Amino acid sequence: MAGTLVMKFGGTSVGNAGAMAQAAQIVKDARAEWPRVVVVTSAISGATNLLLDSATRAARGDLSTLVEVETLLLNNHEAIINAQVSDPARQAQLKQEIARMISNFGSLCRAMGVLGEASPRALDAVASLGERMSVRILAGVIESIGVAARAVDSTEFIITNTTFQNAHPDFDATTIKTRAVLNPLLDESIVPVTTGFIGATPDGAVTTLGRGGSDYSAGIIGAVLPADDVWIWTDVDGVMTADPRMVPEARTLPEISYSEVAELAYYGAKVLHPKTVRPVVDEGIGLRICNTFNPTHPGTRLVPNLKTNGKTSKEHVVKAVTAIRKQRMITIEGRGMLGVPGVAARAFGAVASTGTSVPLITQASSEQSICFAVPSESAAPVLSALERAFAAELEDNDIDRVWATEDVSIITVVGAGMRHTPGVSGRVFSQLGDHSVNVLAIAQGSSEVSISMVVESQDTEAAVRSLHELIVK
């Protein structure tokens, strides 16, 4: 018999009464096959955005919509309780707990209004409330269909540093705490239903792992218990060959390697949080992506990276195409850079000082320019930081200018062994040329599984559709 299974449900998978009931039934069905099941859940659809938007408005002194938001949150959560929790006493208890949390949310927002600011720590406290409400309701719904369940806040066992809004877990402390909190419940055949993307500092202050980090939470829990399998339940049939909104003929990949899915997640595919893969890979745990609304579909199974030995079949090289929109290319250029050591280090030190992540880098072989992408909203602070860092060189004309493009997109072709397969790059760029898509910059990583290109924003869909034609039907 199988051992321990961790299942994570996304916001759309618990977004309303019907979805919550479907998620609970999936848990019940899994419980029949797996003796130990842990459930991780996101907030119901839209709840976290409502909470954070209200907090941001409150910090600006705008409390005009707060009562309306409190009422909406209360009604949305109570509607699920009324529809799916059968026991009147349990209903009343859940409604009381939800009302208390929403009242705390209102108090936090009003305090922000008085202070005129929202600290990262306060925003994490607000953001955590969506998941904390969701776990209590999902546990109640699971109980209503005959499976023992208990809501557990992950603040009790995921221990992080104090980087609020993007905290990093302490895996040693988290391992000890997770086993101490969850194993006694699992030993009693109780399903722990726990919050996603939330942790706490050693002193107990609530932190979050970054938006979308509920997948990461499932990976962490799976790694430290350890589990035998982690299943991510979402609203699509697994990892697809492209975004079906851009490519209607996109299809589900039955298998994909860890390195391939890591590239896809990093380069814009929303089906999996980029950090999820590492703890799972490190512990050799199975990972599967499934559709809550089509639970009989096998989804996508992640498999260990396969050694290509230079023999990858051309027919199976390109597996998927993805896109990141709203990027800008930053260029540092000047003849005075030629042969000068440390320019790149100083440049990326300046970028790091703004807290910006760089998804793509390319450098001219002449060393007269460095070019890299950043999210569009980060372009202005990054430019300012670079101008400060190279003020002397700009003054002496050793660096001619530091500038940014308008919005561009990064298109990434993913497939194992591309580096060792002759002709792949030629096919990629010929395909783009045949569809009149101009490539502004190119990067291929040492991972061997991706080629990334920068294109004009208006060419995004044409690029993705044309490259998807390279995937064998």
Tell me the C-alpha distance between 365 and 407, whole Å.
Answer: 25
Evaluate whether 141 touches 166 at the Cβ level (below 8 Å).
Answer: no
Residue 445: per-residue pLDDT: 63
- Compute CA 161 distance to the chain's CA centroid, rounded to the nearest angstrom: 19
Residues 53-106: pLDDT tens digits? 999 999 999 999 999 999 999 999 999 999 999 999 999 999 999 999 999 999
Residues 351-401: pLDDT tens digits? 999 989 898 898 765 558 889 999 999 999 999 999 999 998 888 888 889
Task: Count other Cβ atoms within 10 Å, centred on residue 188.
Answer: 9
Q: Mean pLDDT, to the nearest integer, of 246-265?
A: 86
Whether cis (ω within 30° of 0) applies to the bond prior to 248 is no
State both tokens at 235. 């609203």
Adjacent-strand bridge partners of 456: 408
Higher-scoring residue by pLDDT: 169, 336: 169
**Structural fold of domain 4-235:** Carbamate kinase (3.40.1160)
Residues 390-448: pLDDT tens digits? 998 888 888 889 999 999 999 999 887 676 677 788 888 899 999 999 999 888 765 56
Evaluate whether 328 touches 407 at the Cβ level (below 8 Å).
Answer: yes
State both tokens at 159. 């221990």
State both tokens at 283. 């512990």
Q: Tell me the torsion sign for CA atoms 255, 260, 263, 266.
A: positive
Residue 262: per-residue pLDDT: 77
Tell me the C-alpha distance between 142 and 403, whole Å.
Answer: 55
Q: Which CATH number fits domain 306-473: 3.30.420.40, 3.40.640.10, 3.20.20.100, 3.30.2130.10?
A: 3.30.2130.10
Closest alpha carbon to 124 in 48, 68, 63: 48
Task: Count other Cβ atoms within 10 Å, centred on residue 282.
Answer: 11
Burial bucket for residue 342 (CB in 10 Å: 0-12, 13-18, 19+): exposed
Distance between start and end Cα atoms, the chain: 37
Most distant CA pair in the chain: distance in Å?
Answer: 77
Evaluate whether 91 touches 109 at the Cβ level (below 8 Å).
Answer: no
Residues 108-163: pLDDT tens digits? 999 999 999 999 999 999 999 999 999 999 999 999 999 999 999 999 999 999 99
Tell me the C-alpha distance between 56 and 63, whole Å.
Answer: 10
Residue 367: per-residue pLDDT: 58
Closest alpha carbon to 227 in 101, 380, 83, 39: 39
State both tokens at 49. 């955005």
- Compute CA 332 distance to the chain's CA centroid, rounded to the nearest angstrom: 30
Evaluate whether 416 touches 317 at the Cβ level (below 8 Å).
Answer: yes
Q: Tell me the torsion sign for CA atoms 105, 111, 114, 115.
A: negative
- Side chain identity at residue 235, one-letter code: D
Evaluate whether 101 touches 132 at the Cβ level (below 8 Å).
Answer: yes
Residue 426: per-residue pLDDT: 85
Q: Give residue limits of the domains in the chain.
A: 4-235, 306-473
Q: Mean pLDDT, to the nearest integer, of 222-227?
A: 95
Tell me the C-alpha distance between 389 and 244, whole Å.
Answer: 43
DSSP for residue 252: B
Residue 316: per-residue pLDDT: 59
Categorize the per-residue pLDDT at 302 as very low, low, confident or very high, splitting at 50, 70 and 90: confident
Tell me the C-alpha distance between 211 and 48, whole Å.
Answer: 9
450-456 and 439-444: which strand pairing?
Answer: antiparallel
Residues 168-184: pLDDT tens digits? 999 999 999 999 999 99
Residues 6+ apart with CB under 8 A from 473: none
Evaluate whether 405 touches 389 at the Cβ level (below 8 Å).
Answer: no
